[in-house]
């Protein structure tokens, strides 16, 4: 094993797949000459050249469309958005073309493409740069949605995403690019759609994904001091959702808390709540509690932003609520 940063895991995954398959290429704003806005493509222009690592204009709709079209001629593009907030400019290409090509062509065309970049908030970036759209994309048939929380998961799942024959939304975080973690020296690939039990426990199940899961770990450490044992499931993939992993854990702990950095209405945690109450209702000893952001655009003020975001104290309160403590 070796210890690398999250951004290095992303770079390694892309580079290894580009060495393996000449049809893979990377395009996006500042991915080439600048080595990526977050240095996640450092050195790739030097290795692969400007035909496979392509700087684009600030025109998300345009380069998303070029990339989607190129899949129909045998290419496997990786499209980097500086943040997924900017993907809204190109979302027509993602929803109406990438997600539907296979069905609308009667299976004649597949669309092997990865749209990747950071999601959700990253400090004081204001309302339009602090949004989480995992549930938007997960709501669309034809798309797979991956939101890793560690360098190990990021590398293994990005390699799987690049090899997948369907479009994959791969969501990262500006606040995770510097995170360090262990990854194997050799090649490895993680299966899409399989959750990971990051912490074993017996009293309550906490389900989360992405960078916000760190708050669940903080809460679990504090709760352990009070004799409360938390099991933490990292979804890793939002769609397809590994509902079996969630149900098995709930059947063991009989209580569920879901932590998600998203607006509270009709989000991923809402879907999980529905699944669990419909398929494991008799195992629940308390109502499910979901923890989300406030139901407002993200504030710029640091004081208000702290209130807006879920944190470990929110998780602790939720766990004690389902435990009737």
Spot the catalytic one: 12, 80, 129, 172: 129
Spot the catalytic one: 60, 80, 215, 271: 60
Question: Does the annotation count 60 as an active-site position?
Answer: yes
Q: Answer for the pair 17, 155: CB distance below 8 angstroms, yes or no.
A: no
Give the separation between CA 193 and CA 95, rounded to whole angstroms: 20
Question: Does the annotation count 231 as an active-site position?
Answer: no
Q: List active site positions.
A: 60, 129
């Amino acid at each position: 094993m070796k210890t690398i940063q999250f951004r290095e895991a992303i770079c390694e995954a892309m580079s290894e797949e580009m060495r393996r398959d000449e049809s893979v290429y990377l395009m996006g704003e500042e991915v080439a000459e600048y080595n990526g806005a977050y240095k996640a493509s450092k050195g790739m222009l030097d290795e692969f050249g400007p035909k496979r690592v392509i700087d684009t204009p600030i025109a998300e709709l345009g380069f998303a469309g070029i990339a989607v079209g190129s899949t129909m001629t045998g290419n496997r593009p990786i499209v980097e958005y500086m943040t997924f907030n900017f993907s809204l400019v190109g979302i027509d290409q993602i929803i109406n073309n990438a997600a539907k090509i296979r069905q609308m062509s009667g299976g004649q065309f597949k669309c092997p493409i990865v749209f990747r970049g950071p999601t959700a908030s990253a400090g004081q970036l204001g309302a339009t740069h602090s949004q989480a759209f995992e549930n938007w994309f997960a709501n669309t048939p034809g798309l797979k949605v991956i939101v890793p929380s560690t360098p190990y998961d990021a590398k293994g799942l990005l390699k799987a995403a690049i090899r997948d024959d369907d479009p994959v939304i791969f969501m990262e975080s500006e606040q995770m690019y510097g995170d360090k973690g262990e990854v194997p020296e050799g090649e490895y690939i993680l299966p899409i759609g399989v959750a990971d039990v990051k912490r074993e426990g017996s009293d309550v199940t906490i389900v989360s994904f992405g960078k916000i899961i760190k708050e669940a770990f903080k809460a679990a450490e504090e709760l352990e001091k009070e004799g409360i044992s938390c099991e933490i499931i990292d979804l890793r993939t939002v769609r397809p959702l590994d509902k079996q992993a969630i149900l098995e854990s709930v059947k063991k702990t009989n209580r569920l808390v879901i932590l998600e950095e998203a607006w509270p209405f009709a989000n991923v945690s809402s879907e999980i709540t529905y699944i669990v109450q419909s398929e494991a209702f008799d195992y629940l000893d308390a109502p499910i509690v979901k923890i989300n952001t406030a139901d407002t655009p993200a504030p710029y003020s640091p004081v208000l932003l702290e209130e807006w975001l879920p944190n470990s104290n929110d998780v602790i309160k939720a766990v004690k609520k389902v435990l009737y403590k």
